[in-house]
Structure 1
Amino acid sequence: MRLKTRCSKAATVLALAAGLALAGCGGDHSGHETGAAASPTASSTAGATFNAADGMFAVMMIPHHEQAVEMADLVPTRTTNADLLALATEIKDAQQPEITQMQGWLKGWGTDVAAMGDHASHGGMAGMQSDEAMADLAALTGDSFDRRWMEMMIDHHEGAVTMAKDVIAKGSDPAVRALAEQVITAQQAEIAQMTGMLGG
């Protein structure tokens, strides 16, 4: 069923991105009051502006984070590696609140979060793992799972870092920039940790 809906969800995300581009490019978006929360030109922070790059970052990073949480949820039932169990908990505890934060931004910008669908429509994003790779991972246990999970999560994190660096270069909203910097700091540290655990 997820494969059947992949194309329609992808089209929805493309349309959503186009809408954000128009909203982010049209005029002065500096007035953000409570009453303006439903406007697509409302920013995530008072007196600030968002642009198309900020909007795209949130639209794409939400499903990206959701997949990381999905991967973290696999860990407790497939390994007894204490370091990996702790890392998975750390990743989930960091990324779930960030998902909520970005959903709040999209709502404030007048975006229909529910229309985004799930991460099945985002297979082309940097670091995003395929459904097949996720299924293969879920079938593993023990040391084989540990190694494959870390390899996939390193790739996933590297994609998130790339996306975060892109919005820092192109975005305009201070709250989005702050989150992007947080993503870079946390995920680069986790990449280094996993690389070490893999013996690299």
Structure 2
Amino acid sequence: LYTVLSGWAFRYKLLRDGRRQILNYLMPGDLIGLQGSVMGEMQHSVEALSPMLLCVFEREYLHELYRNHPGLAYDITWIASREERMLDENLLSLGRRSAIERAAYLIAFIGSRAKVVGLNGSQSVQIPITQQHIADTLGLSLVHTNKTIRKLMDRKLIVWRDGGCAVSDNEGLKRLAGWEGLGEARRPLI
């Protein structure tokens, strides 16, 4: 069980034929391996998008942590509940949003999370992803993703660079996606 202290990563699953579905993006404060610690085995993989620093928790002590440190136990439960909430929104995106709304939501979502944990400093959020990552998250072809990203750029909502995506107008992305934002008043850091 790990806590991300710095860096970016993503959780994903692969189909037998090699197709990848990115499930979520990880950044400081997120847990890696909670599913495996509770269920015995992780049903997904994790890949780093940048250099990362992780804090290791021995998973056999997780039950002891819940028993002896209720404040930390609550924080872990909060993080797991937030993950469920994020996955609900991602499922809504895949099922009902148009391609441009999906892309706007995804970039606004990642940008908002990065801002909450201070990954952008005083500058615009720089997200270290490729168009392939976006395609694999949204279930779109790379060609469709490229055209969709171009539309977001034309609206001056994002800037695409070799190292990824810079958010120019997070509020505009949220409006386009029909998303109200994270709404997190308190975010624990374990």
TM-score, structure 1 as length reference: 0.30
TM-score, structure 2 as length reference: 0.32
The structure that is helix-richer by fraction is 1
The structure that is strand-richer by fraction is 2
Higher RCO (C-alpha under 8 Å, 6+ residues apart): 1
